[in-house]
Structure 1
Amino acid sequence: MSQDAYSRRIVFQGLGALGVAAALAGCGGASGSGATASPGAAGQKLAVAADIPVGGGIVLQDRHIVITQPSKGVFKAFSSRCLHQGFDVGKVEDNTITCTIHGSTYDAATGKVTGPPAPTGGQLASVAIKVSGADIVAA
């Protein structure tokens, strides 16, 4: 085999490997911006507790956090990044966190996946919060 034929063969093999890698990357589950939940420094105010309805919640898109109140006086916080493709979830109603992009659902008390297309057995990452007076703050 000539040196030119050998070099071309190596180039084509490398391009083929890059194509396979690109195709596999497109099959990945979470393809959001990669931003993670950012509650801020301990004690930093995130929300007013009275603004979070029992059985509901709020999505802090700038921080990628969803804060819920699954039962009276009990507040939970999770990453708002859907496990399906990484978009922020859009709403919390009837103790269900819902991604309004593709319909994945999560339990508002635990963050566990309750409906597809998010992977079964998955769970939104917990975020540490606490009640301080009338406010919800980063813990």
Structure 2
Amino acid sequence: MTQPAIENPEAPARRVVVRGALALGLTAAGGASLAACGGADSSTPDAAGPQGVPGPQATPAPGTSLGPTEKVPVGGGLIFGGGANVVVTQPTEGAFHAFSSICTHSGCPVTKVHRGVIECPCHGSRFSIEDGSVERGPAQLPLPAVEITTDGGTITVA
């Protein structure tokens, strides 16, 4: 003959444990989805930095050499990473412009310069290669300009 299972009167019922685990899981998932879009109200710019991104964006020190002008395609641009965080564009032959390569929406680095726009992969913002202005949001602020010189075929932060 089998003996009946003995219940521990101090242990919580299985149903209570399962419900608690489900509630905890849903709370964690909801928090993660909110954090994925910057955590702050991304519809209004933050005075301290880009929307949802604290603090100002670092720019390279004056005199920093970025590379040769010949590497920057006409009608496009080149993104300099490695701490430089600069995108240099050449909208027309010999006209070079530089901007921060950090998106003003949520602080993601831009990854592509294509068909006259600088593209951010995180939320789809696009910026003009001419002046860094927003061509498509959700970003509301332009990419900050970076002063450069192009003496002797070399791009240098001014």
The answer to whether the superposition gives a TM-score over 0.5 is: yes
- Structure 1 residues 113 and 100: CA distance shift in structure 2, 3 A: same
TM-score, structure 1 as length reference? 0.73
**What percent identity do the matched residue pairs reach?**
37
Measured in 2, the distance between the counterparts of 1:34 and 1:100 equals 21
Q: In structure 1, list runs of 5 or more residues that go unmatched.
A: 1-22
Q: CA deviation at 1:41?
A: 2.5
Runs of 4+ in 1 over 6 A off after TM superposition: none
Aligned with residue 28 of structure 1, among 41, 51, 59:
41
Residue 133 (structure 1) aligned with residue 152 (structure 2):
yes
RMSD of aligned residue pairs (Cα, Å):
2.1
SS in 1 for 2:150: strand
Q: CA deviation at 1:130?
A: 0.8
Letter in 2 for 1:28: D
Letter in 2 for 1:132: D
Letter in 1 for 2:95: V
Letter in 2 for 1:129: I
SS in 2 for 1:133: helix
Structure ranking higher on relative contact order (CA contacts 8 Å, 6+ apart): 1
Contact map agreement 1:37 1:80 (CA 8 A) in 2: no
Aligned positions, number: 113
- Structure 1 residues 34 and 90: CA distance shift in structure 2, 3 A: farther
Q: CA deviation at 1:26?
A: 2.2
Residue 40 (structure 1) aligned with residue 61 (structure 2):
yes
Residue 76 (structure 1) aligned with residue 97 (structure 2):
yes
TM-score, structure 2 as length reference? 0.65
Larger Rg: 2
SS in 2 for 1:41: coil
Measured in 2, the distance between the counterparts of 1:134 and 1:94 equals 24
Which deviations, in whole Å up to 9, do the C-alpha atoms of 1:70-96 show, x marking residues without a partner? 111000001111111111111112211
